[in-house]
């Protein structure tokens, strides 16, 4: 009798999850296409229908711009329109386009304050049909992040919170717990020198500082290309091959 009851409960739970769409969405991820990064993420990529946070590694505008471009690269690899919510008119659209997010895909919403921005963020997620919803927020409480996470789960759209601060004292909020599935920090690194005069592809230190059901890690990557894709830094790629070559020589 107990086994039958347990089986019945499990069957009902599975049916409810299928009706709510949770089972299908739980398996949906957006991979980076780099095994070194995807292997650190449960399911092999960024979970769709979930909230993710991104911030610059420092308080300067350069790292903040890198965080926005990293976010744009993620949004560029989704399907459908992208809603981008801001409180300041300082987003450089041509740079976003170079990260793979075409202007025709982006709908910009300017909110008057943080409260209105969070409301637009949540409404955009609950609307459904969007590839991604991005919002540039200074503060994100546990209550607000839970609402955003539930809204993302309900629609299946990926929620990307770009953490930006007007003053340095607000940066401490980034260390507070939230309901986000992953939390990233992006810092600018010097470009690799070219054999000819010019500026090489931008490079970032990408830190995964929180990952639900996963591990923290950091990577040196080359910035998003015209399709929103990252590349592993050539120096790291060479380093990862070297031990294999050494073992082969030893075995020989």
Residue 221 within a domain: yes
Tens digits of per-residue pLDDT, 189-233?
998 777 766 567 899 999 999 999 888 999 999 999 999 999 997
Residue 10 within a domain: no
The b-or-e profile of 201-212 (16+ CB within 10 A means b, else e) is ebbbbbbbebbe
- Helices (H) and strands (E) in the chain — how many of each? 8, 11
SS3 33: coil
pLDDT of 239 above 60: no
Residue 18 within a domain: no
Element (H, E) at 26: helix 22-26
Higher pLDDT, 47 or 165: 47
Element (H, E) at 158: strand 158-163
- Banded pLDDT at 244 (limits 50, 70, 90): very low
Domain span including residue 39: 23-191+199-251
Tens digits of per-residue pLDDT, 107-128?
999 999 999 999 999 999 999 8
Tens digits of per-residue pLDDT, 133-173?
999 999 999 999 999 999 999 999 999 999 987 666 667 77
- For residue 130, the domain's CATH number is 3.40.50.300
Mean pLDDT of 238-244: 42
Tens digits of per-residue pLDDT, 73-99?
999 999 999 999 999 888 899 999 999
Residue 17 within a domain: no
What's the total number of domains in the chain? 1
Residue matched to tokens 């990529």? 45
Nearest to 134 by CA among 147, 143, 125: 125
Q: How many CB atoms lie within 10 A of CB 238?
A: 9
Residue 12 within a domain: no
Angle at 243 between CA 239 and CA 246, to 5 degrees: 125
User: Considering the entire predicted model, what is its pTM?
Assistant: 0.81
Residue 243 within a domain: yes
Are the C-beta atoms of 218 and 50 separated by less than 8 Å?
Answer: no
Residue 244 within a domain: yes
Residue 222 within a domain: yes
């Amino acid at each position: 009798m107990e086994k039958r009851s347990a089986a019945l409960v499990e069957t009902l739970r599975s049916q409810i999850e299928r009706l709510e769409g949770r089972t299908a969405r739980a398996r949906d991820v957006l991979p980076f296409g780099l095994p070194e990064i995807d292997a650190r993420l449960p399911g092999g990529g960024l979970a769709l229908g979930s909230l993710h946070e991104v911030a610059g590694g420092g308080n300067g505008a350069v790292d903040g711009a890198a965080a926005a471009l990293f976010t744009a690269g993620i949004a560029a690899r989704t399907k459908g329109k992208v809603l981008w919510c801001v409180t300041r008119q300082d987003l450089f659209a041509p740079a976003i386009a170079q990260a793979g997010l075409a202007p025709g895909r982006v709908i910009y919403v300017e909110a008057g304050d943080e409260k209105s921005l969070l409301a637009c963020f949540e409404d955009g997620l609950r609307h459904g049909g969007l590839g991604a919803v991005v919002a540039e927020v200074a503060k994100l409480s546990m209550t607000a992040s839970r609402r955003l996470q539930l809204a993302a789960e309900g629609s299946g759209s990926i929620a990307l919170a770009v953490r930006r601060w007007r003053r340095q004292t607000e940066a401490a909020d980034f260390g507070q717990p939230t309901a986000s599935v992953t939390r990233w920090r992006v810092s600018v690194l010097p470009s690799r020198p070219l054999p000819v005069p010019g500026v090489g592809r931008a490079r970032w230190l990408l830190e995964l500082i929180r990952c639900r059901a996963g591990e923290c890690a950091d990577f040196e990557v080359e910035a998003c290309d015209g399709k929103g894709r990252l590349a592993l830094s050539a120096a790291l790629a060479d380093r990862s091959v070297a031990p294999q070559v050494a073992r082969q020589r030893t075995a020989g």
